[in-house]
Structure formats: structure tokens, C-alpha cells
Amino acid sequence: MTVDKSKFEWGKRTYIMGIINTTLDSFSGDGLMAQGSDWVAAAVAHGVRQEKDGANILDVGGESTRPGSDLVSLDEELNRVIPVIEGLVREVSIPISIDTYKSEVARQAIRAGASMVNDVWALKMDSEMAGAVAEHKVPIILMHNRSTPKNAEMKKGLGSRYIGVEYKDLMQDIKNELEESIDMALKAGVKREHIIVDPGIGFGKTVEQNLELIYHLNELKTLGLPILAGPSRKSFIGYTLDLPPEERLEGTAAAVTLCIERGADIIRVHDVLSMRRVAKLTDAIVRRQS
């Protein structure tokens, strides 16, 4: 797959997606809007730093996806992401992804310079998203998601987690639901080679289910598509290690290593420099790439 001028050769190495949260209430504590009136400049500088640290893609999102977070209006989301994308386009040379489930945000972000769409609801929240992606001929990340507010629980210091979420067969259910989204994309005219799947670590899954998902991640290879995994600073790490988001670096490194060993092609992370090193060593072992 080639995105802008960047070539992605799946299976040869692990690619790094850096996270840029233009929010006030990110679960990981990195919401850049909290930095005051200069938050756009701070977000762009953060992206520039992530590119220097080894990111291959930058993922810009304007709405928090943590359990219990407030919904953001279309206009507010656009106000949060478009200035950042426009600033990044002038400063970085790697592809920019827009993290949204709203088709109009995707359209305007692509016009502003984004070249990928990361949909955390895998086309199932906005019926026009598949058509928007097909129209602009950009890659789409389809993420599995069963998040519901009624299953969310908050614990001081550890943040939110999901409880009581039931699956008949965790991996088969994830694959079945991703296949539904893949079919939606293909029927809308999205090219199969433009589709990436994400099992949705942390989204509508209990701590135990997230651990099981990572252990069995390689089962998603039967879909025949590149896999993105996003374990970075997630609550399953915090609840397993009894640590707040800012102390989950080692837990993230362990999860990233296992995701790569089990077939992840892209890892979506907050700590780009550290996780690039983790990925490079893991690739040297499992892919024989130095």
C-alpha cells in the first residue's frame, strides 16, 4: 500500500502510528487542548516530534473515546482537528490519519490534507462514511467496537474499564463483526487493498477479554488484511498492574511486543520513541529485520 509518498510493505516490518489527541479529556492524560490557547501549535509540535521519533503515520482525533466521555458536536470536532491537520501538512512528510466516525469530519479532514481514515465504529455509526472513503480513495481502518455506557465502570487512579460484556466466542465474534464492516466498505467501492482491521483493544471488552484478545490476535490473519493494534496505556494494563495511565510504559511495551509477535502490522501508540525501539527489537527477533 502506498499512502501519499509513503510505501507500506505489510509483513516486512512493524509501522508506528503516533497519537495526537486534540481533546480536553483523553483517558491517557495527553489531551492537547488542555495546554491552553496555544494548543494547535502544541499539537503540531507534538506531531513533528513524533515524526522525528520514528512515527510512520500521525493519527489526529478530536473526540475522546474513553468510557463515559462526552460526545462532541460536528462543528466542535472540526474546530479541533482541521487546524491541526493543516498545520501538520506544512511540517511533516508522513501520512496523516483522521480519527473519526463522522463522514463530514472525514471529508473535510481529507480536503485539509489527511490521507487515511481511522473509524472506531467501523462504518456502523455513520451510514455515509463508507461512501466518503470510497469517493476520496483513501485507506480506512475498521475497528471492532462494542462500547456501551452501561458497561463502563470508573475507579479512581485507574480510570474507566468495561465490565459485564459478553461474547459467545470472543475472537470469532470480533472476526464476524469486522467482516460485516469489510463487506460494507467493499460494497461502497472501497478497494480491499485500502482496508486495515483493528480488533479494538479496550473498546467494549473487559480486562480479561483484552488479555485474551492479544494472546489470540494472530487469528485475525484469516481475514487476509493488515492488522492495527492499539494497546497503548489502555485500562487493561492499568488494572492488571494497578497503575495510572502515566505509569503504563512498561505494560504498553509488553503488550506491543506480543501484538507484533502475534501478527500486528501497525501499532498505535502515545510513546513513539520508546515503542519504535520495542518494535525494532521485536522485528529483529520475529521478522528477522534489523
Judged against a pLDDT cut of 60, whether residue 62 lies above it is answered with: yes
224 C-beta neighbours (distance < 10 Å), count: 10
pLDDT of residue 159: 84
What does pLDDT average to over the chain? 93
Asked about 234 being catalytic, the answer comes back as yes
List the catalytic residue out of 102, 161, 268, 276. 268
Residue 3's DSSP bridge partners are 6
Choose, from 175, 234, 262, 276, the residue flagged as catalytic.
Answer: 234
Q: Name the nearest CA neighbour of 242 among 157, 132, 128, 153.
A: 157
Question: How much is the pLDDT for 28?
Answer: 46
Catalytic site includes residue 156:
no
> Which triple of cell numbers denotes residue 232?
497503548
In this model, does residue 239 exceed pLDDT 60? yes
For residues 6-20, give the mean pLDDT: 96
* Tally of domains in the chain: 1
pLDDT at 226 over 60: yes
- What grid cell was written down for 192? 480491499
Q: Other CB atoms closer than 10 Å to residue 162's CB: what's the count?
A: 23
Q: Which of 60-69, 148-157, 158-167, 264-273 has the highest mean pLDDT?
A: 264-273
Query: Is the model's pLDDT at 166 over the cut of 50?
Result: yes
* DSSP H helices in the chain: 39-53, 74-91, 103-112, 129-136, 170-188, 207-215, 235-241, 249-261, 272-286
pLDDT value of residue 69? 67
3-class secondary structure, 290: coil
Q: What is the pLDDT of residues 20-30, one digit of tens each?
A: 999 875 544 45
**Residue 227: domain span:** 2-286
Determine the average pLDDT of the residues in 20-45: 71
For the whole model, what pTM was predicted?
A: 0.93
When pLDDT is averaged across residues 268-275 and rounded to a whole number, the result is 98
HSE, CB side, 13 Å, CA atoms: give it for residue 232. Answer: 25
Over residues 161-185, mean pLDDT: 96
Q: Is the pLDDT of residue 90 over 50?
A: yes
Cell of 46: 507534538
User: In percent, how much of the chain has pLDDT > 70?
Assistant: 93
Confirm if 18 and 58 have CB atoms less than 8 A apart.
Answer: yes
Of 98, 53, 97, the closest CA to residue 271 belongs to: 53
Rounded distance between C-alpha atoms, residue 290 and residue 285, angstroms = 9
Q: Is 203 exposed, middle or buried (0-12, 13-18, 19+ CB in 10 A)?
A: buried
pLDDT in tens, 98-149: 999 999 999 999 999 999 999 999 999 999 999 999 999 999 999 999 988 7
For the segment 81-97, the average pLDDT, to the nearest whole number, is 97
Asked whether 96 and 85 are in contact (CB, 8 A), the reply is: yes
Quickly tell me which residue has 515503542 as its cell: 275
- Tell me the C-alpha distance between 44 and 219, whole Å: 37
Using a 10 angstrom Cβ sphere, with 0-12 exposed, 13-18 middle and 19 or more buried, the burial of residue 52 is: exposed
- The whole-number pLDDT of residue 4 equals 81
pLDDT (average), residues 148-162: 83
Cα distances (angstroms) measured from residue 226 to each of 82, 196, 220: 27, 5, 9
The CATH number of the domain where 20 resides is what?
Answer: 3.20.20.20
Give the model's pLDDT for residue 152.
82
Q: What percent of the chain has pLDDT over 90?
A: 81
